């Protein structure tokens, strides 16, 4: 059984325990998923206080909605859906409030906390292997990411930073796998266009 399958199975067990009236099962779910949900929301919102609040709201809503959770998708996918929707709503507010704020690409991504966003994007975006990633280049990506539409920015973060599969992204955003692929392609194209000459 893969690690992922074990995770899904354990979540299913916890959901059943919770539905059977065991409140401590939900506390275990929060412990298991808090960091991952927070990390994703923080990547989307770039603001620790907002990310903290959205993560809390995600679990409050999950707690309320769990009785009706049918298990059509994995519990973690359902949680990501809730978090993404809440972050999206918060993001529009954030965007209007601080339109000029740039993203820090020095922030670690993933679970190892050593890989930074700066390392992920150039690799994913097919720069020549021998290209040196200068701070200037990182700053340009950072700046251009803020100019992408929220939809494009969101999908690149889910794919490149969270390393999610097309299927997982499709579940979370409730769109087809085909739409995921074409949106990622358009998002990268848009980022390339904004990057200009150094990206060709």
Same domain, 79 and 12: yes
Q: Which of the two residues, 71 and 142, has the higher pLDDT score?
A: 71
pLDDT digits (tens, 9 = 90+) for 47-85: 788 889 899 989 989 998 998 898 888 999 999 989 988
pLDDT value, residue 135:
52
- What does the angle CA 114 – CA 120 – CA 122 come to, to the nearest 5 degrees? 135
* Domain stop point among 83, 101, 119: 101
In whole angstroms, give the CA distance from residue 91 to residue 85.
Answer: 10
pLDDT digits (tens, 9 = 90+) for 82-102: 998 888 777 655 544 444 444
Contact 143, 102 (CB under 8 A): yes
Question: What's the CATH code of the domain at 170?
Answer: 1.10.10.10
* Domain stop point among 81, 101, 121: 101
Q: Which domain holds residue 55?
A: 1-101
Q: Which of the two residues, 121 and 80, has the higher pLDDT score?
A: 80
pLDDT value, residue 122:
41
Same domain, 120 and 75: no
pLDDT value, residue 91:
65
- What does the angle CA 47 – CA 48 – CA 52 come to, to the nearest 5 degrees? 120
Same domain, 91 and 174: no
């Amino acid at each position: 059984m893969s690690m992922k399958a074990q995770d899904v199975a354990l979540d299913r067990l916890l959901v059943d325990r919770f539905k059977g009236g065991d409140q401590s099962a939900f506390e275990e779910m929060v412990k298991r998923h808090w960091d991952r949900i927070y990390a994703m929301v923080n990547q989307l919102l770039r603001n620790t206080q907002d990310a903290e609040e959205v993560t809390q709201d995600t679990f409050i809503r999950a707690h309320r909605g769990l009785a009706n959770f049918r298990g059509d998708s994995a519990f973690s996918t359902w949680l990501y859906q809730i978090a993404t929707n809440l972050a999206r709503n918060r993001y529009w507010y954030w965007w209007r409030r601080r339109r000029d704020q740039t993203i820090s690409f020095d922030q670690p991504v993933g679970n190892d906390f050593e890989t930074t966003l700066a390392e992920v994007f150039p690799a994913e975006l097919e720069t020549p292997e021998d290209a040196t990633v200068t701070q200037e280049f990182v700053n340009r990506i950072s700046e251009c990411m803020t100019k992408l539409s929220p939809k494009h920015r969101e999908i690149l973060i889910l794919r490149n930073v969270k390393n999610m599969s097309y299927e997982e992204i499709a579940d979370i955003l409730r769109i087809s796998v085909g739409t995921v692929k074409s949106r990622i392609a358009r998002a990268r194209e848009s980022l390339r266009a904004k990057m200009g000459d150094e990206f060709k």
